[in-house]
Amino acid sequence: MSWVQVLFVLLSLVAVASALLVVTTSNLVHAALWLVVTLGSIAGVFLLLAAEFVAWVQVLIYVGAVVVLLLFALMLTRAPTGRQDDLNVGRVVPAAIVAVLVGAVLVSTVVAGFHDVQLDLERAVVGSASVTGGTVFRLWVLPFEVLSVLLLAALVGAIVLSKLRADEPAEAGED
Amino acid sequence: MRFPGTGLAKGLAVTMRQMTRRSVTAHYPDALPDLPPRSRGVIALIEENCTSCMLCARECPSWCIYIDSHKDVVPATTEGGRDKSRNVLDRFAIDFSLCMYCSICIEVCPFDALHWSPEFEYAELDIRELTHEKDRLREWMWTVPAPSALDPHAEPAKELGAAEKAADKARAADLSAAEGAPAPPPPDNSAEEAP
Amino acid sequence: MSDLLEALLRVLVVLVAFLLLPLLVGQAEHKAMAHMQSRVGPMYAGMFHGWAQLVADGVKFVQKEDVVPRDADPAVFRIAPAVALLPYFVVMLVIPLGPGLVGQDLDVGLFFVLAVMGIGVIGTLMGGWSSANKFSLLGGIRVAAQLMAYELPFVLVGASVAMAAGTLSLTGIVEEWQPWWLLWQGIGLVVFFVAGLAELQRPPFDMPVADAEIVFGPYTEYGGLRFALFILAEYAGIVVLSALTAVLFLGGWRGPFEDSLGWLWTLVKTFLVAFVVIWVRVAYPRMREDQLQRLAWQGLVPLALLQLALTAVGVVATA
Dump pLDDT digits (tens) for C114-125: 888 888 888 888
Task: Please report which confidence band the pLDDT of residue C145 belongs to, taking 50, 70 and 90 as the band edges.
Answer: confident
Task: Please report which confidence band the pLDDT of residue C183 belongs to, taking 50, 70 and 90 as the band edges.
Answer: confident
Contacts of C141 in chain A (CB under 8 A): 72, 75-76
Interface check for B21 against chain C (CB to CB < 8 A): the answer is yes
Architecture of domain A3-167: Up-down Bundle (1.20)
Q: Which among C38, C43, C280 has the least Cβ separation from residue B18? A: C38
pLDDT of residue A175: 43
- Please report, in tens digits, the pLDDT of each residue of chain B (195 residues total): 677 778 888 888 888 888 888 888 888 888 888 888 778 889 999 988 888 888 999 999 999 999 999 988 888 888 888 888 888 888 999 999 999 999 999 999 988 889 998 888 888 899 988 999 888 899 888 888 887 778 888 887 787 888 888 889 999 888 888 776 555 555 554 444 444
- Cβ distance A64 to C115 less than 8 Å, yes or no, reads yes
Measure in Å the smallest separation between the Cα of C173 and chain A Cα atoms.
Answer: 15
pLDDT of residue A79: 58
Chains touching chain C at 3 or more Cβ pairs under 8 angstroms?
A: A, B
pLDDT digits (tens, 9 = 90+) for C255-287: 787 777 778 888 888 999 999 999 999 888 888
Interface check for C260 against chain B (CB to CB < 8 A): the answer is no
Task: Please report which confidence band the pLDDT of residue C178 belongs to, taking 50, 70 and 90 as the band edges.
Answer: confident
**Total of domains in chain C:** 1
SS3 assignment, position A108 = helix
Average pLDDT, chain B: 83
Q: Do chains C and B touch (3 or more CB pairs under 8 A)?
A: yes
pLDDT of residue A174: 43
What's the domain range around C254?
3-318
User: Please, are residues B49 and B137 in contact by the beta-carbon 8 Å criterion?
Assistant: no
Residues C21-32, mean pLDDT to the nearest whole number: 90
Contacts of B17 in chain C (CB under 8 A): none
pLDDT of residue A171: 47
**Interface predicted TM-score (ipTM) of this complex, two decimals:** 0.77
Average pLDDT, chain C: 86
- pTM to 2 decimal places: 0.78
pLDDT digits (tens, 9 = 90+) for C285-308: 888 888 888 888 888 999 999 999
- Cβ distance A75 to C140 less than 8 Å, yes or no, reads yes
pLDDT of residue B98: 92
Low-confidence ranges of chain A (pLDDT < 70): 1, 78-88, 121-127, 166-175
What are the C-alpha distances in Å from B130 to residues B42, B46, B98, C120?
11, 19, 9, 54
- Residues above pLDDT 70, as percent of chain A: 81
pLDDT digits (tens, 9 = 90+) for B145-192: 887 778 888 887 787 888 888 889 999 888 888 776 555 555 554 444
Interface check for C282 against chain B (CB to CB < 8 A): the answer is yes
- In chain A, domain spans: 3-167
pLDDT of residue B123: 87
